[in-house]
Amino acid sequence: MLADQQVAIDGLRRRIEILRGELSEPGRRGTGTPSDVRQQLDSLEARLMALEQARALALPAEGTPPPQADLPAPPPGVRPPNVAVAPTPTRIPGPQEAAVAKELAALQGVRVDGEYREALELVRQGQCNQAIPRLRDFIRKNAKSEFADNAQYLIGSCYYMQRDYNRAIIELNEVLLKYPRAEKVPPALLMLADAFADSGDKIDARLILQKLISDHPRSEEAEKGRQKLQALGE
């Protein structure tokens, strides 16, 4: 858990430095308007503070065992607002569309909240702007559900598909922190690496891929991670 926290902290620090560079260099190519960049920067800094506080609480004093406590929830207002970046529905890439279709098929005959099923269908259709708030409501109402990690992963997927890599990184990190043993951890790590790489952060992309391969060596995602790591220049 501490290792996962450190990976998330390091990634957030790098994203913050990138956004600060965009604000200090107006001509530099960024991810949005100055107000959008400032909003994302404030969200990232608040999230970083929460993670650093959680890590400080989790670190044991010398000679004492580490405390077995859940991580504190982020401070109120930290969650990125449900504001779409893309003005039109985003077409889902082939592999992602297939994965969502497979998950829909797996729900046949399974009792699951209708809101989650509808949100999943919206994601499959590329209607992420409508799907994200429904997924958030599902998690809020069903925090202990076996589909909670799936819903959190889909939120990160939506932001990734909209090429909002900063928010995708934040949401995918939530999968690692809130559901460290869930089945969506390997896919979240793989997409997290893609988000870092696509935003130009090859260093963190390699670190995430190395963690994926080390922690989940026999997973399907680990094999893809090895190929991506080689492409990035291991």
51, 141, 220, 228, 231 from 4: Cα distances, Å = 11, 26, 20, 20, 24
Domain boundaries, the chain: 1-59, 92-180, 184-234
Q: Are 84 and 123 in contact (CB under 8 A)?
A: no
Which CATH fold would you assign to the domain 92-180? 1.25.40
Burial of residue 233, with CB atoms counted within 10 A of its CB: 0-12 exposed, 13-18 middle, 19 or more buried = exposed
3, 72, 124, 155, 208 from 13: Cα distances, Å = 15, 20, 32, 22, 15
Burial of residue 191, with CB atoms counted within 10 A of its CB: 0-12 exposed, 13-18 middle, 19 or more buried = buried
What is the model's pLDDT at position 59?
56
Give me the residues of the chain with pLDDT under 50, please. Answer: 29, 31, 61-71, 77-92
SS3 (DSSP) at 87: coil
Which token pair is 198?
Answer: 């696509």
pLDDT tens-place string over residues 97-119 = 666 666 666 666 566 677 888 88
Q: Which of 209, 8, 132 is nearest to 16 (CA)?
A: 8
Q: CA-to-CA distance for 83 and 96, rounded, in angstroms? A: 22
pLDDT tens-place string over residues 174-187 = 999 999 999 999 99
Amino acid at 85: V
List Cβ neighbours of 157 (8 Å cut-off, separation of 6 or more).
Answer: 96, 123, 168, 191
What is the model's pLDDT at position 108?
62
